[in-house]
Amino acid sequence: MPESKMDPKSVRGFVGNKLSFSDISASEALKSAAQMDGEDIVAIVNASGLKGRGGAGFPTAKKWEYARGQEGHPKYIIGNADEGEPGTFKDRLILTDFPELVFAGMAIAGRAVGAEFGILYLRAEYGWLRAHLETAIERCRDEGMLGKVIGGAKDFSFDISIRMGSGAYICGEETALLESLEGRRGDARNRIPFPVQAGYLGKPTVVNNVETLAWVPCILLKGPSWFASRGTRKAPGAWLFSVSGDCKRPGVYEYPFGTSLRQILADVGAEDAKAVQVGGASGTCVPPAEFDRTLTPGDLATGGSIIVFGPGQDMFAVAENFQHFFADESCGQCIPCRVGNQRLLEAIARMRKVGLDREAERNVRQLAQTMSVASKCGLGQMSPRAFLSILNTFAGDLPAKHA
Amino acid sequence: MDAQQQWRTEVEQLVRVHGRSRTALMPILQDINRAHSYIPEGAMLAVSSALSVPRTEVYGVASFYAYFSVKPRGRYVIRVCRTISCAKQGEYHPAIATLITELGIGFGETTPDGLFTLEQTNCCGMCDQGPSMVVNEDVHVRLSEASVRALLTEYRQRAGAELKH
Ligand code: SF4
Ligand code: FES
């Protein structure tokens, strides 16, 4: 049982603008899902163009359709609440303010693919949210939003349990998360089979991010075209951004895809930023000359993290901090990632002391290249990105080379 | 009862709550870790035989996750966020310097009274309200030198009150 009795509202934080979630009723959404069959639900989500909000951006309806077509039973829906990317905390806000939308999203996903069991995998760092979420699940059961007969439909049953992580960034990766649920180290699995074919305990499993799930009730109630009409054609919908760092109003903001970085910086009070890290430690560091770029897959893809760096920041100290993170969090399974991240960390520390020469630069770039092509999962493939983008733009922050 | 028998009894109680399958491994280790601040070897052996999971695998899991420990720790494990929004330029906020001085220990160490273990953690999702730290399961944000001192006093008092009972 959870130890923490902390009130989540006490650390809720600042919400910069009105969130679409705030006028959606989870129980209404479940009632309308109860009127549909799985195929209808998949069709609606497909029409909305909803893509996964965990970072990978896979079309949600496609995932559900694959799972729906699988023979294996039982099937599982997993809510991925292992939000670990540095600078990301939007799921925390969703879980604090709108947990029933997440649970309804899971139940609706369950109806869509034919699953009756859901597991919310909550990161250890959010252990203080567990009691709050257990209470919300109880409330949903009492109100007929979870359990045997949901929304009055006898063939709509779904229930959710919570499982905790124990502090491993890699478990946000869906196959590592499954390993952890099965009582193993969080080592990423080979894909093929995909989790939708053989996931939790070898059964068809859908793993969706918390934000992705919370959008589902909204799409059902307001219609797919409401959702699709916001954002861009390739990237429909709005997105929650977690903004932190050197800005006047850090917090959670909702924007449609296609919003420019410049607009966000104005809203959060950071017009003088020296750089903005989009997508957390595995993202890109953007210099002021590129602030007109937009947040959208294809330009600046992101799992929602925006970290602002003010005029005084030494960007290689930032790079070293990010690199330390990866060296710490590599699951250790494959060499390019396990050793590469450690070497890259050493190289950055050295650069900060003695500056950069051509040969050192060639070596780190080669190392980064090897890591991104030869690592098994996203962690090792993406980890050199922040460093490379800082190297490309902010080499001036390094000391002059001592000859 | 010898020590190992005690572990067997404790683990059997947990098996009653979480089940005897492999999927119960994490929840069981989490409960042990919470109750004792770490996962002692005897507990790992008992879990291994109760769930029929090889010892090496139990150890592998117990040593993989950052929130587990296979070495004794203090009653309160303090995890300070070392990631970028909380630790600007890789430097800690003065509040953390105060914390370290007040505790009189370094990272990875436990105070002689067994109350506090100090650790670093990666981003705990409080970046908008840093500097932040997680103590056991509670999170504390917007740390200042004063709030850090007040929190330590609070935890000391809480431990004192619990010990009296
Ligand atoms: S890339 Fe890194 S985190 Fe991913 S499997 Fe390899 S060692 Fe593990
Ligand atoms: S950077 Fe400290 S909580 Fe995210």
pLDDT of residue B98: 96
Name residue, tokens 């897959």: A297
**CATH 3.10.20.600 corresponds to the domain A231-309:** yes
A243:B128 CB<8 A: yes
Q: What is the dihedral of CA B53, B55, B57, B62, to 10 degrees?
A: 110
The domain spans of chain B are: 3-64, 76-163
- Cα of A95 to ligand 2 centre, how many Å? 18
Maximum C-alpha span of chain B: 54
B102 CA: distance to closest CA in chain A (Å): 24
Q: Which of B83, B88, B134, B140 has the most ligand 2 atoms within 8 A of CB, as the residue to mutate?
A: B83
Q: Specify the pLDDT at position A89.
A: 96
CA distance linking residue A261 with residue A198, whole number of Å:
39
A92/A79 Cα distance (integer angstroms): 13
Would you say the C-alpha torsion A266, A271, A273, A275 has a positive or negative sign?
Answer: positive
In this model, does residue A296 exceed pLDDT 90? no
Q: Which CATH number fits domain B76-163: 3.40.50.300, 3.40.50.1010, 3.40.30.10, 3.40.630.40?
A: 3.40.30.10
Domain extent listing, chain A: 26-223, 231-309, 315-397
What percentage of chain A reaches a pLDDT higher than 70? 99
Among candidates A85, A182, A186 on the partner chain, residue whose Cβ is nearest the Cβ of B23: A182
Distance (Å, whole) CA A126 – CA B123: 11
Residue A142 banded pLDDT, cuts 50, 70, 90: very high
Binding region of B: 81, 86, 123, 127
pLDDT tens-digit map of A301-345: 777 899 999 998 999 999 999 999 999 999 999 999 999 999 999
B54 chain-A contacts, CB cut-off 8 A: none
For the CA of B126, the closest atom of ligand 2 is 3
d(CA B86, CA B94): 11
Instruction: Transcribe A225-267 into DSSP letters.
Output: HHHHTSB-SSSBSEEEEEEEESSSS-EEEEEETT-BHHHHHHH
* Nearest bound ligand to the CA of residue A335: 1
ipTM of the complex: 0.96
The CATH number given to A315-397 is 1.20.1440.230
Q: How confident is the model at residue A192 (pLDDT cuts 50, 70, 90)?
A: confident
| SS3 labels along A95-135 | HHHCHHHHHHHHHHHHHHHCCCEEEEEECHHHHHHHHHHHH
Q: What is the pTM of this model?
A: 0.96
Dist. CA B61 → ligand 2 center (Å): 25
Contact between B26 and A163 using a beta-carbon 8 Å cutoff: yes
A26-223 fold:
Rossmann fold (3.40.50)
